[in-house]
Amino acid sequence: MNNKSVLQIIQKIFCARVFVLLQLLILSNGILQAQWVNVNVPFTGGAYCLMPVGTNIFAGTYGAGIYLSTDNGTSWTAKNTGLTDKSLYINCLGVHGQKLYAGTEGYSLCFTTNNGGSWSIIWDIGIDYHNGVYIYSIIFSGSLSYIGLNYGIVLSTDSGNNWGSMNQTIGMGKVNSIVDNGTKTFFGTDSGLCISTDNGFNWTNIGLTNNPILTLFKNGSNIYAGTASQGIFLSTNDGSNWTTLNAGLPGNSIHNFIAYDSSIFVATSNGIYRLDNSNSNWTPVKSGLTDTLVYSLAVCGTYLFAGTSRGLWKRPLSELVGISPERIELPKKFLLLQNYPNPFNPSTLISYSLPSAFNIKLIIYNSLGQTVKVLENGFKNAGNYSVNFNAADLPSGIYFYKLEAGQFAQVKKMMVIK
């Protein structure tokens, strides 16, 4: 073998090794990118709550007020005009119609109608925050609105314009979270789970756990309760029975839930976990997340955002749920589709689209205009949704379904034939 042949062999070996090395570098780079990325925010401390509004996202902080990003979290701007020093500690955010509400720690309920350009105090507790009166949760259910405090709840019956006092709930204690499914209202408190069928005027504490319930979450007909140290409880029958749902979860506090596509994500004191329809085990999705005390989650655009004890993180949804960018394109307008099949017996599918985040209601009526069933009642992110309606317990006839979202309302007709 001459020198030229030896040189050619060496060159081939060298090129092959370079090719393998480049492939490994590309692969490792992809692995490094498939993780949570810290969002550079101009505030220190925790992001206790997140709220998407259309293509924007708001972050409620502990001591720095409220910040807004209009570019997928790349930059953030303080939106505190009208807030006092006492109302810079934000525990909760809520959207109803054209208003964004902020519940502050120990002083007032505020709202804005111009994307945080200015805030107005709509309800003032009237007690200095050093005395320990805090707003922990806020939800909207049709014309009813609830504030969860450290001594019970306060109710508004006119979409949050005026708030009254509900002394009946003083014994309820600290209310960390509230959900309403149309027939029952669930209150997650430090002393367990309270359930009311009359908007909180009367309620029963069913206990459920021996420690605080920090968060409640409604997804379809399922209700999830996240506790301070006993993990997650699930009810599939309107709160009548509860089972644990902790496979794959380490013992930690549960702070927040969010659903996207066929997955549910949970924020815990030990990172973020995911549950999908294909199994009953939670799997960790916290690669790159160096601050694992996670308080809040929100979907905005093509990202999942996480608020932690020391700032904000984001990660592309395509990395978390394995879907193509085309599938997560947001709807451009409201849409309520005709149910399919129609006529039907006994089940049919109702689909709708939301161009931005709203509190929505999807209600079934009979031909007399009487409410038959509330299929959806609560906050939804922008996206496409489908709900199964089972009419096995209803007689044949004409029925109507109505979607309400902010100022949008649409009704369609369907027929049950048995």
AA identity, residue 327: R
pLDDT attached to residue 123: 66
* Average pLDDT, integer, range 176-190: 91
* pLDDT at residue 70 is higher than 50: yes
- For 97-221, strand residue ranges (E) read 99-104, 108-112, 120-124, 135-141, 144-149, 153-156, 175-180, 185-189, 192-196, 204-207, 213-219
Return the minimum-mean-pLDDT range out of 6-15, 206-215, 283-292: 6-15
Backbone angles phi, psi at 206, to 5 degrees: -90, 0
* Average pLDDT, integer, range 358-386: 89
* pLDDT at residue 295 is higher than 70: yes
pLDDT attached to residue 18: 39
* pLDDT at residue 32 is higher than 50: no
pLDDT attached to residue 264: 93
Nearest to 320 by CA among 295, 353, 286: 286
Nearest to 65 by CA among 114, 110, 129: 110
Residue 35: partners with Cβ closer than 8 Å, 6 or more residues away: 287, 288, 289, 315
For tokens 């949570």, the residue is: 36
Residue 380 pLDDT class (50, 70, 90 cuts): confident
More confident residue, 87 or 91: 91
* pLDDT at residue 251 is higher than 80: no
* pLDDT at residue 148 is higher than 60: yes
* pLDDT at residue 374 is higher than 50: yes
More confident residue, 159 or 16: 159
Pair of tokens at residue 124: 């003032």
* pLDDT at residue 31 is higher than 60: no
Residue 298 pLDDT class (50, 70, 90 cuts): very high
* pLDDT at residue 253 is higher than 70: yes
User: Where are the domains positioned within the chain?
Assistant: 1-33, 37-328, 335-416
pLDDT attached to residue 124: 59
* Average pLDDT, integer, range 381-410: 89
Point out which residues pair with 148 in neighbouring strands: 137, 153
Give CA 269 to chain center in angstroms: 17
Give CA 307 to chain center in angstroms: 12
pLDDT attached to residue 7: 46
One of 2.40.50.140, 2.30.140.10, 3.30.300.210, 2.60.40.1930 is the CATH number of 335-416, namely 2.60.40.1930
* pLDDT at residue 242 is higher than 90: yes
CB 357 within 8 A of CB 95: yes
pLDDT attached to residue 48: 92
Chain-wide mean pLDDT for the chain?
83
Most confident range (mean pLDDT) of 153-167, 298-312, 334-348 is 298-312
| % of the chain at pLDDT higher than 70 | 84
Classify domain 37-328 at the CATH topology level.
Methylamine Dehydrogenase; Chain H (2.130.10)
Nearest to 263 by CA among 253, 277, 251, 252: 277
* Average pLDDT, integer, range 27-44: 69
* pLDDT at residue 325 is higher than 70: no
